[in-house]
Every structure is written in structure tokens, then in C-alpha cells.
Amino acid sequence: MKRAARLRPTQTAKLSIDGLALFGGAPCFQEPLHVGRPDFTATRERLLARIGEVLDRRFVTNNGPLVQELEARVAELLRVKHCVSVVNGTIGLELLARALELRGEVIVPGFTFIATAHAFHWLGLRPVFCDVDRRTHSLDPRRLEECLSDATSAIVGVHLWGEPCDVPALADFAARHHLALLFDAAHAFHCSRGGRMVGGFGRAEVFSFHATKFFQTFEGGAITTDDDALAARLRLLRNFGFAGYDSVVDEGTNGKMTELSAAMGLVALEALPALLQTNRERSEQYRRELDGLPGLRLYSHDPRETRNHQYLVLEVDARAAGLGRDELHRLLQAENVLARRYFTPGCHRMEPYRSRPQASQRALPVTEELAEQVLVLPTGNAVSAADVAGIGELLRFLLDNAPAIRRRLAGHAGA
């Protein structure tokens, strides 16, 4: 079902402070607009046909033909030797940590989705949070040294928002200190650095194919690497350590992707160019709609590189905007614009990490600032051009009337 934005640019005059949904008016959008909601309108028939094949074949998991086909196609697309599909990105990180036999401490950014840290903590490793670069939002190589200890075994860079990390600087640091370098590439499918696709950097990279990602298999993920031995070990570990019937040659867990997820993935791969086109158009439109709005800065990607534009990331400077990020978030949510405060608070402020002894915590000023400022706006192929126009108009109205809205918010119950 297609929604239409209730607001059109020409109807801005109808917006009023009293009419804002937070103050009792009807929401601007009849249906919620999500960050990365998948839309199956264009792919439904092909997906159902693929699922039909799986049911007919009666082979639904355990490295089936569709999983193998998907792995081959992803490896080809990312120009990497091996793609080991997994049940989700979090398990992918865990499998990689096991396969690399990481020990002790692992340096991770403070500003990321909690799964980056949890995956290692879950295995009994200790995530050590490093601050991030103000512009790119990813690991700041200048802050690595202070995170280092005798127990450090690895650095985990996160290509946040699909913008690859400063790979050469991280690789140089890792080599000098004999650390494994791996990447959480959950956001970076079909993104490049120096013309080379994310997938082949470090020892290995881990993708998430969650339903809200640019490339999705409902739930799923993959570990990609050029290292033959590592790929072979990962394949063992994701299947209980089985080398063949009745032959267990390693430890292992169950990290296998199902044929239904692979069916989704194969169909999603065919639809990728169309989604990329939509994402690009929406992202350019957002940029035009928000142009000149005080206090709102849109995250910029390197224009020379391939990007998937799956996340539309806004930084809100409360002083210049007249409204804080959290105020805007409340106002937008009420209007059915389900913008997200990714990633608030920073990982170090979430359990179990925030309860660590104070002495073992380091200041992460950039992570703190971003966690207060970042707002991710609805994107994906379920968000129409009319929706983006409506969101732009709404944001413009909110900022144009910021002082009055702020006064109203102060007096509003629950504010």
C-alpha cells in the first residue's frame, strides 16, 4: 500500500504551532515513515517464485544451492575471494573473533550500534572504546594509542553510514602493534575506498543483511575475506565444526543462513541498482530541502566513491537551530516521521559497559557530542519523493518557529 504525504510544499501555510501533533493536531503523515523500511512492491513476484523453488526442492538450509549462489554473487560484486554467509551480522562478528582466536581486549569505536561491542563482550573479550573522528564518525586513528594495552589483540573499525574508515592509518597502527585489523561493514555494502569495494580490507569484514539495510536478506550477514585459510575456518565454525557427516574437526556454533534468506538476497541483488537510484535521489532531495536551514548539517560522503546512501544523517546544533536534537526528535515522531537517534547514548554509556569502574573509562568527547546531535531521517524505497518534500517542509516550519515551539514545549506536559 502506498502512502501519500499529507503535506505538500504548497500547503506549508496550513502548518501551525497549534496544529502540530505533539500539541494535539493530526500527524502530518498518515502512516509512519521509517529508517530503512524495506518495500517489496517491485520484488514480490520474483521473491515468491524463488521461495516456491526452495519449497519444491525441499532443501531449506545447511549450505543449500541458493546460499552458495548468493555467496558467489556477493564475492564477485565486492571483488573479494570469499564470502561466508551467516545468520546475521552479530554472529558474523562473533565467528570472526573466534576464527582469529582473539584474546583480551579489542578496540572498538564508542559511536556505533551496540552489536559491535556486544559481539566481543559476549565471547568474554573486553571491548575498549575509542573516540571517533568528528567529520567521518568512525575510529579516530589519533586516539588509538591511548586505548592500547598489553592485552589488546585487535582493532575493529566500523564503516559507519557506509563511509569507509581511514583504512591505511588503522592498518599502519595494527601492523606496528601486531594487532588483527577487522571491520564491521554492516552499513557499507556496495561502498568503496580508493575505488576498491569494502569487503577485502583488513583480515576480514563483516556485513549485516538485516531487513533495514541497503542489501538485505530479512536477517543475515556475511564475512568476506581474501584469506583462504580464514574462510575455510569460518565455514567450519558456522556449522558446528563439521567437516563432513559425523566428522567434527573444530569448535563451532550454528551461524548458517537459510535458503529463504538467500532467496531474498538473490532477488534483492537484482533490485539493487533501482534501490541505489532511489537512495541517491532521496539523498539529493533531502540536501536541497534542508539547504540553508540553520543548525542542521547533513553528513557528507566522499563524492568520488561509491556509496549506498542508506542512511540520511543529520547533525543538529541546538544553539543555531533553536531546537535541540531531542526536541526535534519528539516533534517528528509525533508527526509519524520516525527519525532515529542512532547511536544514542554512546556504547560506553550502555550496559554492561557503563557500570565498569570509573577508572577504566576514558573520555570520548566526540562520541558524546555526536550522540547528542545525530538524527537519522527516514530513507529507503518505502519513502517517496513527496514524503521527503513533506519532511523538508515540516523541518523548515519547525526551525522557522523554533522560539515559539520551544516555549510551548517547555509548558507541554511531559516535556
Quick check: 212 binds ligand T4K (CB under 6 A)? yes
Quick check: 221 binds ligand T4K (CB under 6 A)? yes
Q: Pick from 165, 186, 204, 328: which binds ligand T4K (CB under 6 A)? A: 186
Which residue is at the shortest CB distance from ligand T4K? 89
Q: Exposed, middle or buried by CB within 10 Å (0-12, 13-18, 19+), for 108?
A: buried
C-alpha to C-alpha distances, 246 to 60, 235, 241, 243, nearest whole angstrom? 20, 16, 10, 8
Distance CA 68, CA 148 (A): 39
Quick check: 35 binds ligand T4K (CB under 6 A)? yes
Residue with cell 575455510: 232
Residue 88 CB, nearest approach to ligand T4K (Å): 4
Quick check: 401 binds ligand T4K (CB under 6 A)? no
Q: Write out the three cell numbers for 168.
A: 591505511
From 2-10, 30-38, 122-130, 238-246, give the range in contact with ligand T4K by CB under 6 A.
Answer: 30-38
Q: Pick from 111, 113, 161, 299: which binds ligand T4K (CB under 6 A)? A: 113
Quick check: 346 binds ligand T4K (CB under 6 A)? no
Q: Identify which of 202, 199, 200 has the alpha carbon closest to the alpha carbon of residue 221.
A: 199
Name the region of 246 (left: φ>0; alpha: ψ -120 to 50; beta: rest).
Answer: left
Residue among 187 and 325 whose Cβ is closer to ligand T4K: 187
Alpha helices in 207-322, H assignment, sequence order = 228-237, 259-290, 318-321
From 66-74, 113-121, 123-131, 233-241, give the range in contact with ligand T4K by CB under 6 A.
Answer: 113-121
Residue 37 CB, nearest approach to ligand T4K (Å): 3
| Residue 295, helix vs strand vs coil | coil
Quick check: 116 binds ligand T4K (CB under 6 A)? yes
Residue 244 CB, nearest approach to ligand T4K (Å): 29
Quick check: 158 binds ligand T4K (CB under 6 A)? yes
Name the region of 248 (left: φ>0; alpha: ψ -120 to 50; beta: rest).
Answer: beta
Angle at 22 between CA 19 and CA 27, to 5 degrees: 60
From 172-180, 206-214, 289-297, 399-407, give the range in contact with ligand T4K by CB under 6 A.
Answer: 206-214
Residue among 317 and 326 whose Cβ is closer to ligand T4K: 326
Q: Are 79 and 196 in contact (CB under 8 A)?
A: yes
Residue among 342 and 353 whose Cβ is closer to ligand T4K: 342
C-alpha to C-alpha distances, 121 to 157, 227, 290, 401, nearest whole angstrom? 16, 25, 40, 45
Name the region of 87 (left: φ>0; alpha: ψ -120 to 50; beta: rest).
Answer: alpha
The count of residues interacting with ligand T4K (CB under 6 A) is 23
Quick check: 338 binds ligand T4K (CB under 6 A)? yes
Q: Pick from 184, 289, 315, 327: which binds ligand T4K (CB under 6 A)? A: 184
From 99-107, 110-118, 130-138, 346-354, give the range in contact with ligand T4K by CB under 6 A.
Answer: 110-118
Residues 252, 238, 347, 382, Cα dihedral to 10°:
-160
**Residue numbers at the binding site for ligand T4K (CB under 6 A):** 34-38, 88-90, 112-113, 115-116, 158, 184, 186-187, 208, 210-212, 221, 338, 342
